[in-house]
Structure 1
Amino acid sequence: MTVLAAIEGSVNTIGYGLAAIGPGIGVALVFAAYIQSSARQPESAGYNRTWLVLGFALVEALALFGLVLAFAV
C-alpha cells in the first residue's frame, strides 16, 4: 500500500512570508535610527518624527505590494 502526502495550498503564501522579512527589518531600522537620533539630539525629535512617519510608510508599502501580489497570481 502506497500513501502519498498531498501538498495543498498556494506557494504564493510562502513567497509572501519570505518577502515580509525585508519590510520587517526595514521598519526596525527606521525606528532604531529615530530613537538613536532623538537620544543624541532631543530638541530635533519633532523634526525627525516627520521622517520617521515617511520612512515607515514607504517601507510598509513594500509589504502591502507583496501581499497584493501574493493574491494576484
Structure 2
Amino acid sequence: MTEERDGLHVTVQPDVCIGAGQCVLAAPEVFDQDDDGVVQLVDEAPEHELHRDVRLAAARCPVEAIGVVEP
C-alpha cells in the first residue's frame, strides 16, 4: 500500500511484519494491527502533523516493514 500527501509516501509490508507493535505505539492514528498482530495502514494519507510520528514508527520497526519516502 502506498499513498502520498504533502510529499510523504508511506508503505507497509504486512508479509514482513512480525507484530512488534512499535508502529501502533508511535502513530496509532496511522497504523493498527490485525488479530494476528500484523501491521495495517489505517490512514493512507496522514496529515502533516503526523509525519513525525510516522517517521518514528518506521525507525522503530525491527524488521523495516514500514517505509517512508520523502522528496
Instruction: Give the TM-score of the pair, scaled to structure 1.
Output: 0.30
Instruction: Give the TM-score of the pair, scaled to structure 2.
Output: 0.31
Query: Greater share of strand residues, 1 or 2?
Result: 2
Query: Greater share of helix residues, 1 or 2?
Result: 1
Structure label with greater radius of gyration: 1
